[in-house]
Amino acid sequence: MSLLDMIGPVMIGPSSSHTAGACRLGLVAHHLLGEAPRRAVIGLHASFAKTGRGHGTHLALVAGLLGYGPDDPRLPRAFEEAEAAGLSVEFRDVDLGDVHPNTAHIELHGAEHSVTVQGSSTGGGVIRVTEVQGLGVNFSGSSPTLLLRYADAVGMIARVASTVAADGVNIAALTCTREARGGRALLAIELDQALSPEALAFLNRWPDMNWVRPLPKLMDG
Amino acid sequence: MTTLEALMNAPAPASAWVLAQDCAETGLNPDDVRAEMARRIGEMRASVERGLRSDARSITGMVGWNAKGLWDAPDVLGAPLLRRVQAYAMAVNEENARMGRIVAAPTAGSAGTIPGALLGVADHLGLPDERLVDPLILAAGVGKAISKRMFISGAAGGCQAEIGSSAAMAAAAVTELLGGSPRACVHAASLALMNTIGLVCDPVGGYVEVPCVSRNAFFAVHAVSAAQLALAQLESFIPPDEVVGAMASVGRLMPAELRETAEGGLAQTPTGLAVTARMEGREETGGMIELPMA
């Protein structure tokens, strides 16, 4: 949390948790999809479902899916912009269990790929992403984050970490989850700086690597 | 570790110390942070100006005409500073309620307090916006010090955590703007906080409109009062970090009904319940809710 997060974000109202944070959750899905979004199914939990519509939560989520930041003047027109961009969105009220009351589950499809993201808006525009592609993660988007899906194997984390180190980038935090031994795994790495395109391309070429997505820093500070 | 105690004993001006500390921690460039803070003052001013001109209703229809109404009304008390500070604060929150662009400071629900106090005092005294960059950095530093020990959202700690924090931040900023020492700035923040402890978050229908818009007007004035006391060398008897600790403790003791759930306080009055029912009844209609009030 930096000074620019205390005085900020610059945002379209009304609520930093229901609007700015919701927009940032949409942005996570936007960046992880990595192509133009075509169809989204958004599950809204508890307070997001109950008071979201009046707070513009629906608009903010869709704005994020389109790649707009919390201060984008197009945010209040996000539904029209989505229609023009060929993105159809369906909202559902869902019970996601014992999670933060401001939580959304986003399923986003493009022409080639799909991504699912679950995350909470915890106040002041701050978010916490708790699930990507059905696997548990724990990051805030306050620094560039690298997400990787691969088949679990001995030494994968060490190989990824040494690639990041060779790129001159420092790791701030790392979470790894796998479905089962030898099953699909998800690695989320929060970095001090974004990885170079060359390093990303190198990771992408590994045969056991299914999916590599760089998420830019989403906070101001 | 950023504490109010450390800030109080920092060399003057307090804002320079805050900026150096934060940049060492985050790796950001001080010139970039100052440039961005200058831009945010511009954003605050733009939201004040739009808010003072518009009387369009908010999403729920509960607010929207208050800032313009006050700004256009005669100054019956002969207190132009008071009216200016209140109108600026409400202008920002009404702009926020109608989905306009604002700077969350620290949250959207409390966004009017700092521009109300800081821009209001500066305009009253004819000071240029360049003078407000460092005070705004100090405000952020005070908010950061509070947030180390206490959540700054109403849902976590009641309105004391939200507008209490913004009032403390604004009080410190106004004190530095008027030449106060780091000690005076922190005592201004502490005095403002002491007088917000126990404040519940009870938004009608769950929306940051009632009582939030008028509450920002009151707390912008509250911040200016705290700055005035501190500039006259009055101090908070309880040390500032202990005041933050007390607020955190009260926040934990506060029942969930009084922490932004709309299950207590004004939200549970007959009118509050009627608004809630009407809002919930319109959930399926999509888009913005038109809710003309009687």
* Residue reference for tokens 């705004």: B136
For residue B246, how many other CB atoms are within 10 A of its CB?
A: 17
Q: Is the pLDDT of residue B284 over 60?
A: no
For B167-200, letters b (16+ CB in 10 Å) and e give bbbbbbbbbbbbebbbbbbbbbbbbbbbbbebbb
Q: How far apart are the C-alpha atoms of B160 and A80, rounded to whole Å?
A: 38
Bridge partners for A104 per DSSP: A44, A119
Closest to B60 in 3D by CA, of A213, A29, A13, A142: A13
Q: How far apart are the C-alpha atoms of B114 and B104, rounded to whole Å?
A: 10
Q: Which helix (H) or strand (E) holds B293?
A: none
Q: DSSP characters for B235-279?
A: --SS-HHHHHHHHHHHHHHS-GGGBTSSSSGGGGSHHHHHHHHHH
pLDDT at site B131: 98
Is ipTM beyond 0.85? yes
pLDDT at site B121: 98
pLDDT digits (tens, 9 = 90+) for B87-132: 999 999 999 999 999 999 999 999 999 999 999 999 999 999 999 9
Pick from A2, A4, A7, A50 the residue to mutate for testing the B interface (most B CBs within 10 Å): A7
CB contact under 8 A, A6 and B143: yes
pLDDT at site B184: 98
Q: DSSP characters for A110-125?
A: ESS-EEEEEEEEEETT
pLDDT digits (tens, 9 = 90+) for B145-183: 999 888 777 777 899 999 999 999 999 999 999 999 999
Q: Which two tokens stand for residue B238?
A: 């309880």
Strands A88-94 and A135-139: unpaired
Q: Is the pLDDT of residue B288 over 90?
A: no
pLDDT at site B1: 53
pLDDT at site B155: 77
Which residue is closest to B41 within chain A, CA to CA?
Answer: A7
- Min Cα–Cα distance to chain A from B161, Å: 12
CB contact under 8 A, A51 and B36: no
Residues of A in contact with B35 (CB under 8 A): none
Q: How far apart are the C-alpha atoms of B261 and B223, rounded to whole Å?
A: 26
CB contact under 8 A, A101 and B155: yes
Amino acid identity of B168?
A
CB contact under 8 A, A14 and B288: no
Radius of gyration over alpha carbons of chain B, in Å? 19
CB contact under 8 A, B108 and A11: yes
Nearest to A9 among B104, B279, B282 (CB): B104
CA A84 from chain centre, in angstroms, equals: 23
pLDDT digits (tens, 9 = 90+) for B46-94: 999 999 999 999 988 999 999 999 999 999 999 999 999 999 999 999 9
Closest to B176 in 3D by CA, of B229, B125, B231, B130: B231
Nearest to B140 among A6, A53, A71 (CB): A6
A182 in contact with B, Cβ within 8 Å: no
- Min Cα–Cα distance to chain A from B140, Å: 5
Q: How far apart are the C-alpha atoms of B7 and B138, rounded to whole Å?
A: 9
CB contact under 8 A, A6 and B280: no
pTM of the model: 0.92
Nearest to B289 among A7, A17, A54 (CB): A54
Which residue is closest to A126 within chain B, CA to CA?
Answer: B107
The order of strands in the sheet holding A114-123 is A88-94, A37-45, A103-110, A114-123, A126-132, A135-139
pLDDT at site B292: 38
Question: Strand, helix or coil at B40?
Answer: helix
Residue B267 near residue B259, CB atoms below 8 Å: no
Torsion sign (Cα): B255, B260, B265, B267: negative
CB contact under 8 A, A14 and B59: yes
Q: Which residues of chain A have pLDDT under 70?
A: none
Q: Which tops the pLDDT comparison, B283 or B174?
A: B174
| pLDDT-derived band at B291, boundaries 50, 70, 90 | very low
Pick from B17, B21, B47, B59 the residue to mutate for testing the A interface (most A CBs within 10 Å): B59
